[in-house]
Amino acid sequence: MARRYDTRTTIFSPEGRLYQVEYAMEAISHAGTSLGILATDGILLAAERRNTNKLLDEVFFSEKIYKLNDDMVCSVAGITSDANVLTNELRLIAQRYLLQYGESIPCEQLVSWLCDVKQAYTQYGGKRPFGVSILYMGWDKHYGYQLYQSDPSGNYGGWKATCIGNNSAAAVSSLKQEYKENETTLAEAQALAVKVLSKTLDMTKLTPEKVEMATLTRKDNKTIIRVLTSSEVEKLITDFEKSEAEAEAAKKQPPKS
Amino acid sequence: MKDDEEKIFRVSDKLVMGVVGDSGDTTQFAEYIAKNIQLYKMRNGYELGPTAAANFTRRNLAEYLRSRTPYFVNILMGGYDKENGPELYFMDYLASSVKVPFAAHGFGGYLSLSIMDRYHKKDLTEEQAYEVLQKCVKEVHKRLFVSLPNFQVTVVNRDGIKVLPVIDSSSSK
């Protein structure tokens, strides 16, 4: 019955829903997880790499994490080809602003601009929406460190910690319990990210090839964006497994009376 | 002939722009820039700093320069930035832009520039700066036989925009 209202994006269903937008979000929920955490001294984005085939030639440094300008990085979840179009557009928007005003675009303006583009695809043109959700991390002089999330509908929000992609709901509730606002340092956030990712990766064990992580910090009035090396990721994973093992052992100990 | 033309436009809370050139072009361009900067403030909840506003103004001048409808205006833009303090930008009709400690446009500028060069120091007080301006105006009135009597003075500092007394021909007495 709902099928009649599916074919064109620009139509409401009788219940007042936009099915194409919802289907786009459904597509994203099957894609590789991406999560972001705001810390007191920086921000981090972590993503699950799905293309771990050994035959893949390492042309790109990063599969899901993209640098947008000197002060902003984003991570995507969803259809990769759609994501490429949007990240290119984000870079264009950022450079146009830099050309016009001579300074870096403030984070929210970049997100807002792209979301206006995404929204247009839900209202006119007869084209399907982009099947991508994006997490943005950045710094600007107005609001400092910021984390944003946008989805195919063109809605966006600012977050302290959030997750998109496969098992994102479970990850978000996990983050809600473990994240301590104004008390989480970048190092703690990295450990937390590994912990949450290990839960969302269905059944498979965490390895450095499966995880991408990038951090954004400020030093001497400049933004430093770093993609962690696989040995750094490996160390985080081993630390996590060690603390898990310790927690398991503590549980097995009979409670001291 | 009109001797009380308002050439200094209020662009935002801590930014002013003095515009000279073809009449019509001056008001049109100044208002266009001022309203665009207000629009930015409405959209984003914060104001453009003086550097960004100067960049924006210069870019507009540059784009219109190679069109069928260039703006024949010379601009001095002054503003106060919380992080970087007061800033002055000199822009001309060929879309050049440079940050300077003091500047002047027009024939009077030829005389004023040397006076300012001689008397300007870093960290002048407002009173001292006003006196330097008075010296410049005095020289302009003395040397240019076609010059106008009144000079409007506007100050921008951390508290906003303030208008100081007009320097007129009585200052040369």
Task: Measure in Å the smallest separation between the Cα of B88 and chain A Cα atoms.
Answer: 16
The pLDDT assigned to B61 comes to 96
Res B83 pLDDT > 80: yes
Q: What is the pLDDT of residues B106-146, one digit of tens each?
A: 999 999 999 999 999 999 999 999 999 999 999 999 998 88
pLDDT at position B171 is: 59
Q: Determine contact: A98 vs chain B, CB below 8 A.
A: no
Q: What is the pLDDT of residue B170?
A: 73
CB distance from B125 to chain A under 8 Å? no
- Nearest chain B Cα distance for residue A94, angstroms: 14
Q: Is the pLDDT of residue B168 over 80?
A: yes
A194 has a pLDDT exceeding 80: yes
Q: Which DSSP state fits A79?
A: -
Nearest by CB to residue A142, choosing from B46, B51, B52, is B46
- What residues of chain A lie within 8 A of the CB of B44, using their CB? 106, 108-109
The answer to whether residues A244 and A252 touch, using CB atoms and an 8 Å cutoff, is: no
Q: What tens digit of pLDDT does each residue of A10-46 get?
A: 788 899 999 899 999 999 999 999 999 999 999 999 9
Residue A59's pLDDT is 59
Inter-chain CB proximity A101 and B56 less than 8 Å: yes
Instruction: Verify whether the Cβ–Cβ distance B48 to A106 is below 8 Å.
Output: no
Give yes or no for residue A125 having a pLDDT over 90: no
The pLDDT assigned to A5 comes to 60
How much is the average pLDDT of B24-30? 95
| B83 shares contact with chain A (CB less than 8 Å) | yes
Average pLDDT over residues A53-71: 82
DSSP per-residue letters across A59-74: -SS-SSEEEEETTEEE
Single-letter residue type at A152: P
Which one has a higher pLDDT value, A63 or B163? B163
Contact A100 B59 (CB under 8 A): yes
- Cβ–Cβ below 8 Å for A101 and B52: yes
Nearest CA in chain A to B53: A101
Q: Are residues B9 and B156 in contact, defined by beta-carbon separation less than 8 angstroms?
A: no
Whether residue B97 lies within 8 A of chain A, CB to CB, comes out as no
pLDDT, tens digit, 9 for 90 and up, residues A196-217: 998 888 667 888 888 999 999 9
Confidence of residue A7 (pLDDT cuts 50, 70, 90): low
CA A180 from centroid of its chain's CA atoms: 19
Inter-chain CB proximity A102 and B46 less than 8 Å: no
The average pLDDT across A52-62 equals 73
State whether residue B170 sits within 8 Å of chain A by CB.
Answer: no
Cα gap A249→B153, rounded to integer Å: 78
Chain B contact for A103, CB < 8 A? yes
Nearest to B51 among A100, A102, A109 (CB): A102
Would the pLDDT of A257 be above 60?
A: no
**How much is the pLDDT for A209?**
85
Mean pLDDT, chain A, integer = 90
Query: Which residues in chain B touch residue A142, judged by CB atoms under 8 angstroms apart?
Result: 46
Average pLDDT over residues A145-163: 96
pTM over 0.90: no
Q: Is pLDDT above 90 for B26?
A: yes
State how far the Cα of B110 lies from the Cα of B143, in Å rounded to an integer. Answer: 11
| Confidence band, pLDDT 50/70/90 cuts, at residue A117 | very high
For residue A2, is pLDDT > 70?
no
User: Does residue B23 carry a pLDDT above 70?
Assistant: yes
Question: Most B CBs within 10 Å: which of A97, A101, A107, as the mutation test of the B interface?
Answer: A101
pLDDT score recorded for residue A60: 63
pLDDT at B31 over 60: yes
Contact at CB, A99 and B83, closer than 8 angstroms: no
Residue spans of alpha helices (H) in chain A = 19-28, 80-101, 107-123, 168-178, 186-200, 230-252
| CA–CA distance, B11 with B17 (Å, rounded to integer) | 7
Residue B156 pLDDT greater than 90, yes or no: yes
On the question of pLDDT at A141 being above 80, the answer is yes
A-B C-beta contacts closer than 8 Å: 23
Q: What is the ipTM of this complex?
A: 0.85
Virtual CA dihedral for A77, A185, A90, A107, nearest 10 degrees? 130
Partner-chain residue, chosen from B44, B46, B52, that has the shortest CB–CB distance to A103: B52
